Amino acid sequence: MATTVYNNHLLTSSFIHHFPYTKSLKHPTLTSFLTPSSSSPTINKTLCSSSSTKEGDGPKKRRRSSYGSSRKSVLRKTFKQEQVTFTSPLSSDDPVVAIIGGGMSGLLCALQLEKRGVRSTVFDTGIHGLGGRMGTRYIDEMVFDHAAQFFTVSNSVFRELVDEWSQKGLVRQSQGVIGELEAGGHFFPFLSSPPRYIAVNGMRTLADSILSQSSMIEVVRPCWISSIEPYNGMWHLSENGKHRGQFDATVIAHNGKCANRLLSTSGLPLIARQMKRLELSSIWALLAAFEDPLPLPGKTVAPFEGAFVKGIDSVSWMGNNTQKLSNSPNAGPPHCWTFFSTPSFGKRNKVPQENIPNATAEKVKQLMLAGVENALGLETGSLKKPIYTRVQLWGAALPTNTPGIPCIFDPLGRTGICGDWLLGSSLEAAAISGLSLGNHIADFLKSGGSRPDEFAVGLHEDFHPLQGHDIGQFPGLESNKDICEAEVQVGA
C-alpha cells in the first residue's frame, strides 16, 4: 500500500495516531460531534444513507444556494452546520472523486488518483483553459504569465514530475538573470540560485497539458460548482441548479471566498473551519508591452529577466516575459512585462476584482508605472509609454498563513482539501499538496471507508504565519523548511 510521509509521520494510520480526532476531545462540541454514541441531536446525524432512498434519485429537497449570501451569514452557516457522516459502504469498487478546482493542486490530485487506479472529474471555472493562478494571457503575438512566473523544485517527488515535463518539452530551466532591484536603480543579481523552471509556452499551457495523457480523468470547464450536497451515500454537485454528477468523495482544490461559501452549507464544519482560518493577500498585476527595451537600471550592463523590487509600495516584482519565453535578452519588440504590486498596495486599492472601476484601473496603472520608473532609477515622467497595458487584481493572491500539512481530509464526510496554502505559497507547495491528497484518498477508498478514524488528517491543525517573497516561496531564494522536508512516497 502506498503511503504518504510527511516529516516522518505517516499520513495513514500511524500519522493519525499523532493527530487523531482525539486531539479535539477537549472541545465539548467536537467531542460529542465525533463520538458515534453521542446523544446530541445536531451531531452525528446521518444525512446520507444508502437504504433510505433510491440510488441516483438526487436530493428530494434541495437547499437554497448560499451564493450571494452576506459574509455574516456565511460565517453563521459555517459554524452552525451539522456534520455529514457517510455510514453506507462506498458505492462500488470503481469509485469516482469530484475535484473542484483545476489549478496545480487539483490537477496533480487527479493525476495521482489515476496512478492509483481511481477515476476523477475535475471541475474548473477557467474559460480559456485550466490552471487557476498558472494563468497566461495571449494577446496577438504578446504572451504574459499573469500570476506564477517560475517555480523552484526541492521535493524529490515533484522533481521526478518536473523531469518528466522537461523531457516532454513542457518546461525548461530559465537561464536569465534575476535578482533584487532597490529603489533608485540598484540591481543585485542572485549570484547563485536554485534552478528556476518556466513553462515553455506560458504557465497555462503546462496546466492544460498535465492531464493530456490521462484516461481516467474527465475535465469539465468552464464550470462553477455552486453546491455540494450529500445524498444517498454520495456527494451531488451542481452548478446553479444544474446537476453535475454524483461522487464517492469530494476534493476542494480552491480557496478564498468561493470555497468559504461552498463549504458554509456543505455539512463539513471541520473542513469549513480550517478553510476559514486561511488568510490571503491581494496583489495587483499590471501587464505592459513596450516598443523599446526598458532602460537598464544604474550600473547594470545586461538586461535582467526578473527582479524582486524593494522599497517601492506599488511594485514587488517585475518580470520580462519576452526574454523569459524566448530565452534571449535581445528578443522583441514588443517587450512584454508583468509587474506585481506589494500586498499592502493591493489591500489599500482593493475593489471587486470582477468589476474594476475604470478610475481605479487607471490610478493603479499610473502608480505602478511610476513605481517601475522609480525602481529603475529613471527621472520622473521619462519612462516611455507602453503600447499595451492591462491591470488585474488578484483578490485572493497568496496565503499568508498555513497549517503546514500537505492536505486535509474528513473521512466522515469523505471530503478533502488540497492547495498551495496547506504547505506554503508556491506552485511546488500546491503540487505536493495535490499529490498527497490524491494518495491519501486512494488509500481511504481502498480501505472501503470502514475505518474512517484512521484517515482523518489536518482537521484541527493550528496555523502559523508564512514568510517568503510577496509572490511566493522559493527554497534557495528563500528557504521553506516545510516543503523541503515533506517526503511523499507515491508508488502504487
Ligand X SMILES: Cc1cc2nc3c(=O)[nH]c(=O)nc-3n(C[C@H](O)[C@H](O)[C@H](O)COP(=O)(O)OP(=O)(O)OC[C@H]3O[C@@H](n4cnc5c(N)ncnc54)[C@H](O)[C@@H]3O)c2cc1C
Tell me which residues touch ligand X (CB under 6 A): 100-106, 123-126, 132-134, 147-151, 223-225, 253-254, 258, 262, 283, 285, 340, 394, 397-398, 419-420, 425-427, 430, 471-472
Gyration radius of the chain's alpha carbons: 23
Cβ distance to ligand X smaller for residue 162 or 471: 471
Beta strand 136-139 with 119-123: parallel, antiparallel or unpaired? unpaired
- Least distance to ligand X, CB of residue 441, Å: 16
Residue 364 CB, nearest approach to ligand X (Å): 14
Closer of 394 and 444 to ligand X (Cβ): 394
Q: Report in angstroms how near the CB of residue 454 gets to ligand X at its nearest.
A: 26
Query: Alpha-carbon distance 252 to 434, whole Å?
Result: 10
- From the list 372, 365, 426, the residue with the least C-alpha distance to 399 is 426
Residue by residue, DSSP assigns 342-363 as -HHHHHHT---TTS--HHHHHH
Of the two residues 47 and 206, which places its CB atom closer to ligand X in the complex? 206
The smaller minimum CB distance to ligand X, of residues 12 and 105, is found at 105
* Nearest distance in Å: CB 320, ligand X: 14
Query: Whose Cβ is closer to ligand X: residue 64's or residue 385's?
Result: 64
Q: Report the nearest approach of ligand X to the CB of residue 105 (Å).
A: 3
3-state secondary structure (DSSP) of residue 172: strand
Ramachandran class of 400: left when φ > 0, alpha when ψ lies in -120 to 50, beta otherwise:
alpha
Contacts of 394 (CB under 8 A, 6+ apart): 133, 147, 282, 283, 284, 285, 346, 353
Asked if the peptide bond before residue 222 counts as cis, ω within 30 degrees of 0, the response is yes
Smallest gap from Cβ 306 to ligand X, in A, equals 9
Instruction: Name the 3-class secondary structure at 303.
Output: coil
342/374 with CB nearer ligand X: 342
Reference 11, options 439, 473, 317; nearest CA is: 439
Enumerate the H helices of 408-492 as residue ranges.
427-446, 481-485
Report in angstroms how near the CB of residue 130 gets to ligand X at its nearest: 7
Q: Between residues 268 and 430, which has the closer beta carbon with respect to ligand X?
A: 430
Q: Nearest residue to ligand X, using CB?
A: 103
